[in-house]
C-alpha cells in the first residue's frame, strides 16, 4: 500500500505531459495496479488532497514526517508542486483537483479499452515470439504504438528505444517496410511485412582482452590471428601528403599526432556499450554503436574488433573508421604514431 494522494496525480500528470506521454502514463498513479513482480499496488488515499490528509492527521493528533528536500527547487517535481500547481489552481475557473481526478479516471478507462481492443486483434503478446502487426493493417496508429510498446517493454534482453525511434519504427511498420533497428549493445530488431522480431546473436568470447600497447610493440588477440602494432614515425612532406590525401585505408592503418614529449601508452580492448569519439572530419562526437549501424557492420563482428584508447581511456581508433579528429595530422606535424591492424 502506498500513500500517494491527489496532489501526486497532478504532479505526475504535468511531469509526464512535459516529456511526451500517452494515456497509460498519464493515468498514473492508479488506485489498483498489478506490478511485474506479481504484487498488487494499492493507493487508498488517491482521491484525497494533501491538505485533507494533513487536516485529518492534525485532528487525530498524529505526527508525520516531511522530507527536507521537498522544498528544494533542484528537483522537477518540487518545481511543479511549489510553483506551477499553485498558479494553475488560481488560474483555473473550476476546482482543479476534482477535474484532475476525473481526467485521471477517464484516461485509465480509455487505456484499458485500448488494451482490450488491441488484445482482441492480436491476441497475447509474447516476448519470446515475433510480433505480427499485420493483424493491425488499416487500424489506427495508436494500436501499432501500443503493441510495440507492450512487446518491447516485455523483452528480457537489455535495450530500449527513444520516443523518436519508436515513432519512426511505427511508421515503417505501418508502411510494410523492411529493415533493422539497433537494440542495445548486441541485439537488433528486424522487421519485414509488418512482422518484427528480436535478433540477439550469441557472441563468442571476446577476442581482445584489455592489454597495454607501447610504441615499438604490438598486442595480439586471444587466438593470435590479429594484432595491433604501434610505432613512431617521422612525418616528412611525402608521407604527410599521402596521409592528408587519404591514401591509407582506415581499416588497416592510421596516423595520429600525439606529441612526443613523453612516449604515449595505449590500451587495446574490446568494444563496450557507450563507447564514443570524434572521427576525423566529423563535426562532433559519435557513438560507435551508431557508426557500426551506419556502416552495416554485423553485431557479432563488432565484438571482434579492437578498440584503441589512450592510457587515460580516451578512444582514438577502431578499425574501419577514421582516427580521432583531436589527434589529426596537420601541416605542422613532424612526428606521429602509426597504428596498424594486421589480420
Query: Starting at the edge strand that comes first in sequence, how are the strands of the sheet with 131-132 ordered?
Result: 131-132, 195-199, 187-192, 179-183
- The single-letter DSSP state of residue 185 is T
Domain boundary (138, 166, 199) is at 199
Query: What per-residue confidence (pLDDT) applies to 262?
Result: 66
**Are 52 and 128 part of one and the same domain?**
no
Question: Is position 66 within any domain?
Answer: yes
Q: What is the pLDDT along the chain (343 residues), one digit of tens a residue?
A: 999 999 999 999 999 999 888 999 999 999 999 887 789 999 999 999 999 999 999 999 999 998 888 888 889 999 999 999 999 999 999 999 999 999 999 999 999 999 999 999 999 898 888 999 999 989 999 999 999 989 988 887 656 788 888 899 999 989 988 888 878 766 778 888 899 988 775 555 568 888 999 999 999 988 888 999 999 999 999 999 999 999 999 889 999 998 655 678 899 998 887 889 999 989 899 999 889 988 888 877 888 899 999 988 899 999 999 999 999 999 999 999 999 999 8
Sequence-distant (6+) residues with CB within 8 A of 279 are: 286, 291, 321, 322, 323, 324, 325
Instruction: Look up the domain containing 288 and give its range.
Output: 211-342
Place of cell 557479432: 300
Question: Is position 28 within any domain?
Answer: yes
**Are 247 and 225 part of one and the same domain?**
yes
Q: What is the pLDDT of residues 38-83, one digit of tens each?
A: 899 999 999 999 999 999 999 999 999 988 888 888 899 999 999 9
Question: Is position 116 within any domain?
Answer: no
Q: In this structure, what CATH number is given to the domain that contains residue 156?
A: 3.30.465
pTM, rounded to two decimals = 0.57
Domain boundary (81, 111, 141) is at 111
Q: In the chain, what is the greatest distance between 2 CA atoms, to the nearest angstrom?
A: 89
Sequence-distant (6+) residues with CB within 8 A of 264 are: 215, 258, 310, 311, 337
CA dihedral 131, 168, 150, 184 (to 10 degrees): 90
**Are 38 and 83 part of one and the same domain?**
yes
Phi and psi torsions of 305, nearest 5°: -90, 140
Q: What is the pLDDT of residues 256-296, one digit of tens each?
A: 998 655 678 899 998 887 889 999 989 899 999 889 988 88
Query: What per-residue confidence (pLDDT) applies to 315?
Result: 95
Question: Is position 195 within any domain?
Answer: yes
Amino acid at each position: 500500500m502506498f500513500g500517494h494522494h491527489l496532489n501526486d496525480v497532478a504532479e505526475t500528470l504535468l511531469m509526464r505531459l512535459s516529456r511526451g506521454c500517452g494515456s497509460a502514463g498519464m493515468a498514473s498513479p492508479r488506485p489498483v495496479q498489478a506490478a511485474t513482480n506479481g504484487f498488487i499496488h494499492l493507493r487508498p488515499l488517491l482521491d484525497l488532497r494533501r491538505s485533507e490528509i494533513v487536516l485529518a492527521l492534525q485532528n487525530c493528533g498524529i505526527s508525520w514526517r516531511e522530507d527536507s528536500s521537498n522544498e528544494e527547487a533542484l528537483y522537477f517535481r518540487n518545481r511543479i508542486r511549489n510553483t506551477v500547481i499553485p498558479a494553475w489552481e488560481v488560474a483555473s475557473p473550476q476546482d482543479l483537483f476534482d477535474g484532475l481526478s476525473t481526467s485521471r479516471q477517464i484516461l485509465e478507462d480509455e487505456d484499458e479499452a485500448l488494451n482490450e481492443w488491441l488484445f482482441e486483434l492480436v491476441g497475447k503478446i509474447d516476448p519470446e515470439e515475433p510480433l505480427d502487426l499485420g493483424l493491425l493493417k488499416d487500424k489506427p496508429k495508436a494500436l501499432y504504438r501500443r503493441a510495440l510498446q507492450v512487446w518491447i517493454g516485455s523483452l528480457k534482453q537489455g535495450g530500449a528505444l527513444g520516443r523518436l525511434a519508436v515513432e519512426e519504427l511505427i511508421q515503417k511498420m505501418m508502411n510494410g517496410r523492411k529493415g533493422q533497428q539497433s537494440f542495445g549493445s548486441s541485439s537488433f530488431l528486424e522487421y519485414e511485412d509488418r512482422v518484427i522480431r528480436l535478433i540477439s546473436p550469441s557472441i563468442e568470447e571476446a577476442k581482445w582482452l584489455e592489454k597495454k600497447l607501447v610504441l615499438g610493440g604490438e598486442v595480439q588477440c586471444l587466438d593470435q590471428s590479429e594484432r595491433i602494432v604501434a610505432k613512431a614515425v617521422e612525418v616528412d612532406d611525402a608521407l604527410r601528403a599521402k596521409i592528408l590525401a587519404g591514401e591509407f585505408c582506415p581499416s588497416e592503418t592510421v596516423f595520429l599526432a600525439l606529441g612526443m614529449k613523453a612516449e604515449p601508452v595505449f590500451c587495446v580492448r574490446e568494444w563496450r556499450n557507450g563507447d564514443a569519439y570524434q572521427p576525423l572530419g566529423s563535426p562532433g562526437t559519435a557513438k560507435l554503436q551508431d557508426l557500426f549501424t551506419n556502416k552495416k557492420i554485423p553485431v557479432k563482428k563488432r565484438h571482434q574488433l579492437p578498440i584503441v584508447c589512450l592510457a587515460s581511456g580516451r578512444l582514438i581508433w577502431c578499425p574501419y573508421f577514421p582516427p580521432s579528429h583531436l589527434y589529426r595530422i596537420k601541416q605542422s606535424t613532424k612526428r606521429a604514431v602509426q597504428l596498424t591492424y594486421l589480420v
